[in-house]
Amino acid sequence: MEFIKAPRPAGCFFCEAAAADPAADPDHLVLARSELSLVLLNRYPYNNGHLMIAPRAHLANLEELPPTTAADVMGLTQRSLRVLRQVLSPQGFNLGINAGKIAGAGVADHIHQHVVPRWDGDTNFMPVVADTKVLNESLTVSYQQLRAGFDRLS
């Protein structure tokens, strides 16, 4: 809760993660990098293993992505699905892009795709009754397991 209640830093965390030395990947929750894009574990996950795939370039709109970057984002998305299947064994996925603040984008000025693993019965009454989301695993443990999966499937 301390993290959630803390003031959000200024700037774009996707750009900061992309520009950071790969040795700092755990601090930024970066699971994988390519020349044009990166995969991060979401700090505010909808479910365990919730990932975001973003281009390194700071672009707000999907239609602004050069074709090579769009293909790279999709390639990392496919790799992410393979890793999630291997490490977490989900029964399905939600994939999506919230284009613009009105569409629900928490970061509206840097396009990114969400990958949310899903399991039968993974919803419960807590979000409705207590305005609380229950996650079964800490971000640190999720990061370590998924990073090992990405390293194996590099």
- Choosing from 28, 50, 112, 114, the catalytic residue is 112
End-to-end CA distance of the chain: 34
Pick from 150, 52, 71: nearest CA to 110: 52
* Alpha carbon distance 33, 80 (integer Å): 11
Pick from 43, 39, 78, 41: nearest CA to 55: 39
109: buried, middle or exposed (CB in 10 Å: 19+, 13-18, 0-12)?
middle
Per the annotation, the verdict on 114 as an active-site residue is: no
Structure token digits, residue 8: 């959000």
What positions carry a catalytic annotation?
Answer: 112
